[in-house]
Amino acid sequence: MRKKISRQKFKAIYKYKKCNNYLLMSDFSMLIIAWYEQNGRDLPWRNINDSYKIWVSEVILQQTRVDQGRDYYLRFISRFPTVGALADAEEEEVLKHWQGLGYYSRARNLHYASKQVMTDFKGVFPTDYDDVMKLKGIGAYTAAAIVSFAHNRPYAVVDGNVYRVLSRYFAIDAPIDSAKGKKMFFELAQELLDKKQAGIYNQAIMDFGALQCVPSNPDCNGCVLKDSCLSFGNDEVRKYPVKSKKTKVSNRYFNYLYIVNGEFTYLQKRTKNDIWKNLYEFPLIESSRLYETEDLSRLALFSETVGVDVLKISAPVKHVLSHQCIFTKFYTVAISDESVLFKDFIKIPILDLDKYPVSRLMEMYLEKTTR
């Protein structure tokens, strides 16, 4: 069995000598780049030095698969081709173009940061790492990606793919979701970085994790690093990366009222610091369970409304987010008059529903019901 690397000594061992068939750091980088030149993905945000476009792509890909994110990126850049165009747009339009990607705080931060570029950097996207870090919503990973991809600056990127490659290759059992583990992986990634080819190397190791060293059933026998990979040599590939925490998922119950008043319906805007902030939705009642028909009759909203008719109740829908599971029913209710309680809603023509940015949950319902 190959000996595991010491957490305190990994830099010295791998930087200065071969040890137990491990690669020199320069050899590791060389193999990763050579693999990338043969197997790297052809993506629209590659081989460009436009910091703005690289930034948009990285923010989209934070919580989105590449195959899904590509089309969103192309549409977003088509509408907002420059940082100035994004800064000049209304937030609702930005959210509408983001619709379906989820994690809408990313879009709000993009919009806010674009205004920062216009005011703080005279409309020119910053090239310095520390300046990029000043922009809202940008952390160490995104800043490193932008400055290394666009300007070949020597900053290592550490995303989920990089965690997986490094933890397996070096058999590092430090949890990737702990402060100590994150610091350790960042230091190791920075040591491995080919500083003369920082942008190419960063993209190479990310693609290597996405295509070769995949989460489940990686093709280790066909891997260019198999002869020196500790977890492969010890038959422990499935063990890595290590996490210390389990994500706690909470259940929520949403009862949506799709109210039909002739050719009109009603929306409300989510304004609290919660999921889907600043998106629109049907009037919502959040409760400890999903409602039945008789529960609707007891609502003050309808007890003071003339001519209420429950037309349809959808089957329960389960919508899973990263930390929440939303159980939902949509209740289609026809009314012939409206009470004063409707004053807090936005009355719109039903045909205008697609003009408003909504959550993916709402979008899926509308796709089946009103189109």
pLDDT tens for 238-279 read: 999 999 877 788 999 999 999 999 999 999 999 998 999 999
- 329 and 269 within one domain: yes
- 282 and 222 within one domain: no
- 191 and 311 within one domain: no
Least confident of 33-47, 152-166, 242-256, 290-304: 290-304
The residue segments making up the domain with residue 97 are 10-239
Residue 18's pLDDT band (cuts 50, 70, 90): very low
- 279 and 165 within one domain: no
Q: Where are the beta strands (DSSP E) in the chain?
A: 250-260, 264-269, 280-281, 284-287, 308-313, 317-320, 324-335, 346-349
- 85 and 172 within one domain: yes
pTM score of the predicted model: 0.81
Contacts of 57 (CB under 8 A, 6+ apart): 43, 44, 45, 69, 73
pLDDT of residue 103: 87
- 43 and 157 within one domain: yes
320/326 Cα distance (integer angstroms): 6
Residues annotated catalytic, as ranges: 58
In this structure, is residue 148 part of a structural domain?
Answer: yes
Is the pLDDT confidence value at 318 over 70? Answer: yes
Helix axes 91-98, 66-79, angle to 10 degrees: 150
Bridge partners for 267 per DSSP: 346
Residue 337's pLDDT band (cuts 50, 70, 90): confident
pLDDT of residue 12: 42
pLDDT of residue 26: 65
Is the pLDDT confidence value at 2 over 90? Answer: no
Read off the pLDDT of each residue in 283-294 and give the average, rounded to a whole number: 90
pLDDT of residue 306: 61
Is the pLDDT confidence value at 370 over 90? Answer: no
Residue percentage of the chain with pLDDT more than 70:
91
86/115 Cα distance (integer angstroms): 8
What mean pLDDT value characterizes the chain? 88
Domain end point (choices 239, 272, 307)? 239
CATH number reported for the structural domain that contains residue 21 in this entry: 1.10.340.30
Number of domains observed in the structure of the chain: 2
Read off the pLDDT of each residue in 197-224 and give the average, rounded to a whole number: 95
What tokens does 327 get? Answer: 């159980």
Helix (H) or strand (E) holding 14: helix 10-16
CATH number reported for the structural domain that contains residue 269 in this entry: 3.90.79.10
Backbone φ and ψ for 309, nearest 5 degrees, come out as: -140, 120
More confident residue, 46 or 339: 46
- 303 and 235 within one domain: no
pLDDT of residue 238: 93
55/59 Cα distance (integer angstroms): 6
Is the pLDDT confidence value at 160 over 60? Answer: yes
54-68 pLDDT per residue, tens: 999 999 998 888 988
CB distance 316 to 334 below 8 Å: no
Least confident of 16-25, 90-99, 157-166, 313-322: 16-25
Read off the pLDDT of each residue in 147-171 and give the average, rounded to a whole number: 95
